[in-house]
Amino acid sequence: MSDPHSKPKIRWHIIVFLAPAVLVYTAVMIYPLFNTLRLSLFSEVEQTRVFVGLQNFRTLFGDAVWSAQFWNALANNFWFFLIHMLVQNPIGIALAAILSHPKLRFASFYRSAIFIPTILSFVIVGFAWKLILSPIWGIAPGMLDAVGLKSLYAPWLGKEAYALTTLSLVSVWQFVGIPMMLIYAALLSIPDEILEAAEVEGITGFSAFWKIKLPLILPSIGIISILTFVANFNAFDLIYAAQGALAGPDFSTDILGTFMYRTFFGFQLQLGDPHMGSTIASVMFAIILIGVCLYLFGIQSRMRRYQF
């Protein structure tokens, strides 16, 4: 018998196997994060790095020029996220429900076709849609003209009122396959016994999805929602590829990612300021952290109580 008072043995093999992953994660994630937070507390004064505490944050929120750019980018980011939540995720859920129907033919082909844009490069997607929607050499005007709807065409990427919404819908087209596949997997994991019992009670078709399947996949929908939130508040590539660092026209597509990029690295006549750029990045991190915490300690706990 083992001695109950003996000290537990250290499992060195676990430490050995985890050490490389921990070192790599620390080098590429943890250290840059803390270094960014550290840089936001300093500033350059006569080419000398000086500790200024929270002064950079006061400048970002209190200075008229900085605050106007920040609140514009934040509002655009929320709109970008809202379109994904209200358009991308419901479409993904609907596609998953349709493709999970056992009588649907060529379901695997449809899944692959819808998911393919997800693996495309942001640069390819951005430039391709910029060419498609161009009023000069794009195919969108001709396609609308072919169905008698050319009057609806407008240079959507060139108008302040439509540019951000247009790019948001392009992003929805590219990434709708992710919520579709996650919900599809969740639907397939529902035990057949539950669905058969529902059929015995006369619950079939849309009623079965609404009353049986949807409550069971709520945790997956919650995960998709928080992943959408994190991804959209980290967004940068598509806006930069389609509209450039200035996020035109007139900063109407400017989001926190492009605002931080211009500030940190500089662009055209704007000189780069790593300290103010790090301040913006720190605020982005805080927004994402607050959103994730609200989900983990609020929404997810309620869904667990509802589920069980």
* Least trusted range by pLDDT, from 72-76, 91-95, 202-206: 202-206
First to last CA, the chain: 40
Average pLDDT over residues 168-193: 94
Strands (E), the chain: 42-45, 48-51
- Tell me how far CA of residue 181 lies from CA of 92, 108, 112, 115, 228, in angstroms: 8, 11, 10, 8, 14
Contacts of 238 (CB under 8 A, 6+ apart): 122, 125, 126, 167, 170, 171, 174
Residue 91 has pLDDT above 90, yes or no: yes
Whether 264 contacts 245, CB under 8 Å: no
Q: How confident is the model at residue 6 (pLDDT cuts 50, 70, 90)?
A: low
> What percent of the chain shows pLDDT beyond 70?
94
For residue 100, give the nearest of 222, 231, 216 by alpha carbon: 216
- Angle (deg, nearest 10), helices 107-115 and 177-188: 140
Q: Is 171 helix (H, G, I), strand (E, B) or coil?
A: helix
Bin 204: left if φ > 0, else alpha if -120 < ψ < 50, else beta: beta
* Least trusted range by pLDDT, from 67-71, 225-229, 233-237, 268-272: 268-272
Average pLDDT over residues 76-83: 97
**Domains of the chain, CATH where assigned:** 41-307 (1.10.3720.10)
> What percent of the chain shows pLDDT beyond 90?
65
Q: Is 91 helix (H, G, I), strand (E, B) or coil?
A: helix
Residue 44 is predicted with a pLDDT of 87
pLDDT digits (tens, 9 = 90+) for 241-263: 999 999 989 999 999 999 999 99
* Least trusted range by pLDDT, from 174-178, 261-265, 296-300: 296-300
pLDDT digits (tens, 9 = 90+) for 207-227: 888 888 988 898 899 899 999
Q: How confident is the model at residue 183 (pLDDT cuts 50, 70, 90)?
A: very high
Residue 37 is predicted with a pLDDT of 93
Whether 209 contacts 97, CB under 8 Å: yes
Average pLDDT over residues 108-125: 93
Average pLDDT over residues 144-155: 87
Residue 155 has pLDDT above 80, yes or no: yes
Average pLDDT over residues 108-112: 93
Residue 142 has pLDDT above 60, yes or no: yes
**205 backbone dihedrals φ, ψ, rounded to 5°:** 60, -135
Residues facing 234 on adjacent strands: none
Average pLDDT over residues 172-185: 96
Residue 4 has pLDDT above 90, yes or no: no
To the nearest whole number, what is the mean pLDDT of the chain? 90
Residue 274 is predicted with a pLDDT of 94
Residue 306 is predicted with a pLDDT of 52
Residue 64 has pLDDT above 90, yes or no: yes
Q: Is 55 helix (H, G, I), strand (E, B) or coil?
A: helix
- Tell me how far CA of residue 183 lies from CA of 33, 49, 82, 222, in angstroms: 32, 50, 19, 11
* Least trusted range by pLDDT, from 28-37, 56-65, 236-245, 263-272: 263-272
Whether 96 contacts 180, CB under 8 Å: yes
Amino acid letter, 292: V
